[in-house]
Amino acid sequence: MTHAPPPDFRALSARLGSDPLQVQGPGGNTSIKRDGVMWIKASGTELADATRKDIFVAVSREKARAEAHGAGDGTCKATVLDPAITLRPSIETTFHALLDWPVVAHTHSVATLVHAISPQGRTLAAQKLKDLPVIFVPYRKPGLPLTSAIIERLTADVQVIILENHGLVCAGPSVQAVSDLIAVVEDRLALPAQVPPNPAPRADPPDGYAWDAAATVLATTPRLTTLAQAGSYYPDHVVFLGPALPTTPTAPACLVQGIGAALRTDATSSQTAMLRCLADVLTRLPADWDATPIGPGAEAELLDWDAEKYRQALAAKGTP
């Protein structure tokens, strides 16, 4: 286990990372523990690359668990076993280390996000998952604050964690068990698109931008436009696109109301993925559900955070 994580774990990670309804860009993370070693996805890498690149970092599970309980700075940089490794462990390493299950997968599942950003959705999700070992955790900044919120609610049997305005965590005794559990949760939370897609605009986009046909519906459906402008609904939107979606070309993506959604021509693949994620989430939100943004204070925390600036920098080096 000290040499590399096993092939079935890499395959699950790659499958999740290649599905935009599960993971978008460098979001999400997976881990596997054995003999005191925990392999976890490195910050800024993409799960989709799990079978073709070395995206995992080996850390001391004991030391990472100690950081989850307040020892160290919470980054888990000091827990990396190979000092020659320059990649940082995921900012979520502490909660992976906290969970006693050997395999943990954290995704930004669209089906989960639709429920997790809405008060009505969270209530319904609790009913849909009531026979599973599940807990619901309120929104906290990723990293130690989120880990502390999990600690407050965690019991030994918990295998499913719904993170408000953030995503899904599934844990279990084996790779196959976690894969099966994810499938159960996804099936129960699945919601069809409530709003059909619209064709790409014929008008010219703002200078320096190109239309993103998949997100056109955000600009041409008044309710979705209002929601997209109201704020950010999960951390990675803030990290890669900035707060909400403006109606002026001042950010990586913007809405031209009634016409289309535009991305800068130099947008990264991560920025493209996050705009499409927003469309996937908001088009599935039932008409009688509210959606609650994380708020300006939480957005400011993310924008001024060194860990996320590091992840942005790595993502920017990837394929545009």
Q: Is the pLDDT of residue 125 over 80?
A: yes
301 within some domain: yes
**H helices of 42-159, where?**
61-68, 93-98, 110-116, 119-128, 144-153
User: Considering the domain boundaries, does residue 35 fall inside one?
Assistant: yes
Q: Does any domain span residue 1?
A: no
201 occurs within a structural domain: no
pLDDT of residue 318: 53
Looking at the fold, whether 185 and 247 belong to one and the same domain comes out as no
What is the reported pLDDT for 184? Answer: 98
Tell me how many domains the chain contains.
Answer: 2
Q: What is the pLDDT of residue 145?
A: 96
Co-location of 215 and 174 in the same domain: no
Digit-coded pLDDT (tens) for 245-271: 999 999 999 999 999 999 999 999 999
Q: 200 pLDDT band (50/70/90 cuts)?
A: confident
Under 8 Å between Cβ of 302 and 239? yes
Q: Is residue 92 part of a domain?
A: yes
Domain that holds residue 71: 7-189
Q: Are residues 71 and 176 in the same domain?
A: yes
Residues 61 and 173 in one domain: yes
**One domain for residues 55 and 133:** yes
Closest to 182 (Cα-Cα) out of 237, 280, 105, 93 = 105
Does the structure show a pLDDT above 90 at 203?
yes
Question: Is residue 195 included in any domain, yes or no?
Answer: no
| CATH number of the CATH domain containing 57 | 3.40.225.10
Contact 285, 233 (CB under 8 A): no
Lowest mean pLDDT among 4-8, 19-23, 198-202: 198-202
Q: Which of 133, 161, 189 is the last residue of a domain?
A: 189
CB 126 within 8 A of CB 140: no
**Element holding 209 (H helix, E strand):** strand 209-211
pLDDT grade for 4, boundaries at 50, 70 and 90: confident
Q: Is residue 183 in a domain?
A: yes
| Residues 235, 185 share a domain | no
Domain endpoint, select from 137, 160, 189 = 189
Mark whether 21 and 128 lie in a shared domain.
Answer: yes
Q: Are residues 36 and 154 in the same domain?
A: yes
- Same-domain status, 113 and 229: no
45 inside domain: yes
Q: Using the predicted structure, report yes or no on whether residue 307 has a pLDDT greater than 60.
A: no
Q: Is the pLDDT of residue 317 over 90?
A: no
Helix (H, G, I), strand (E, B), or coil: what is residue 150? helix
Predicted pLDDT at 304: 81
Domain C-terminal end among 140, 157, 189: 189
In the chain, what percentage of residues exceed pLDDT 70? 94
237 and 155 assigned to the same domain = no
Q: What per-residue confidence (pLDDT) applies to 319?
A: 42
pLDDT above 60 (res 293): yes
What pLDDT score does 309 carry?
57
Q: Is 57 left (phi over 0), alpha (psi -120 to 50) or beta?
A: beta
Most confident of 51-65, 195-209, 303-317: 51-65
Give per-residue pLDDT as tens, 7-25.
999 999 999 999 999 999 9
Question: Do 117 and 229 sit in the same domain of this protein?
Answer: no
Torsion sign (Cα): 55, 58, 61, 67: negative
Q: Give the separation between CA 56 and CA 110, rounded to whole angstroms.
A: 24
pLDDT(306) > 80 = no
Predicted structure pTM score? 0.94
Say if residue 168 is in the same domain as residue 234: no
Q: Is the pLDDT of residue 278 over 90?
A: yes
